[in-house]
């Protein structure tokens, strides 16, 4: 299962969806596409707004400078991930934490 932890200034993603074999898993591919599209969009607007780490076992977005655009893009990303979670609840879990 992919677990996505959403905190006030950090979003971390870990795990494998287990929907299909690695390389054929549409849930993993969807999560990656949503996240990378969002990160690239933010970097195109302001490279210093976020820090992004991809260790192949963990993806982590840390918000360094919050702006209206960064907030909208990240909220949109989480909304898309929530839609995916609704379709594949056995493969994806989003945990929202305050602070």
Q: What pTM does this model have? A: 0.92
Q: What is the mean pLDDT of residues 52-59?
A: 94
Q: What is the pLDDT of residues 73-94, one digit of tens each?
A: 999 999 999 999 999 999 999 9
CATH 3.90.1200.10 fits 2-96, yes or no: no
**Is 49 in contact with 3 (CB distance < 8 Å)?**
no
The pLDDT-based confidence of 22 (bands split at 50, 70, 90) is: confident
What are the extents of the domains in the chain? 2-96
As given in the structure block, the two tokens for residue 37 are 């599209």
Backbone region of residue 92 per phi and psi (left: phi > 0; alpha: psi in -120 to 50; beta: other values):
beta
Backbone region of residue 22 per phi and psi (left: phi > 0; alpha: psi in -120 to 50; beta: other values):
beta
In this structure, the number of other CB atoms found within 10 A of the CB of residue 73 comes to 19
Mean pLDDT over all residues of the chain? 95
Q: Which helix (H) or strand (E) holds 45?
A: helix 26-45
């Amino acid at each position: 299962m992919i677990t996505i932890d959403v905190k006030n200034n950090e979003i971390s993603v870990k795990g494998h969806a287990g929907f299909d074999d690695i390389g054929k898993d549409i849930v993993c591919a969807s999560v990656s596409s949503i996240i990378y599209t969002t990160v690239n969009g933010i970097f195109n607007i302001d490279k210093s707004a976020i820090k992004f780490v991809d260790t192949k076992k963990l993806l982590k977005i840390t918000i360094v400078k919050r702006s209206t655009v960064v907030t909208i893009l990240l909220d949109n990303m989480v909304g898309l991930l929530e839609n995916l979670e609704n379709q594949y609840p056995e493969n994806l879990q989003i945990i929202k934490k305050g602070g």
